[in-house]
Amino acid sequence: MKNTKFVVKVNRSGARAPEYVQRIDRTPIQTTTNRKLALAMGRFTAEDAVRSLQNSRCSPELVSVQVSA
């Protein structure tokens, strides 16, 4: 059975590679460029992370991921 989880993709200005949210329990939110290390979370938690990142100089977006349960 597969479940849909979400990762938050962060595009910072410039020619950098896209980053993904790795941890949300710290301030500021910790990011990584390795998608395999990205935190797969529920939709409501991911939306909260997006809201907290919108005030910074980056453009966050939700990316759905199929994970096996």
Please tell me the predicted confidence (pLDDT) of residue 69: 67
Tokens (6 digits) for 61: 């977006």
Q: Does a structural domain hold residue 1?
A: no
Please report which helix (H) or strand (E) contains residue 2, including its range: strand 2-12
Please tell me the predicted confidence (pLDDT) of residue 47: 92
Q: Does a structural domain hold residue 19?
A: yes
Please tell me the predicted confidence (pLDDT) of residue 15: 61
Please tell me the predicted confidence (pLDDT) of residue 5: 92
Please tell me the predicted confidence (pLDDT) of residue 6: 94
Q: Does a structural domain hold residue 62?
A: yes
Q: How many domains does the chain have?
A: 1
Q: What is the mean pLDDT of each run of 10 residues along the chain (69 residues)?
A: 89 80 85 90 91 82 86
Length of the chain, in residues: 69
Query: Phi/psi of residue 24, each to 5°?
Result: -115, 0
Q: Are 62 and 49 in contact (CB under 8 A)?
A: no
Q: Parallel, antiparallel, or unpaired: how do β-strands 2-12 and 19-23 relate?
A: antiparallel
Question: How far apart, in whole angstroms, are the C-alpha atoms of residue 14 and residue 64?
Answer: 24
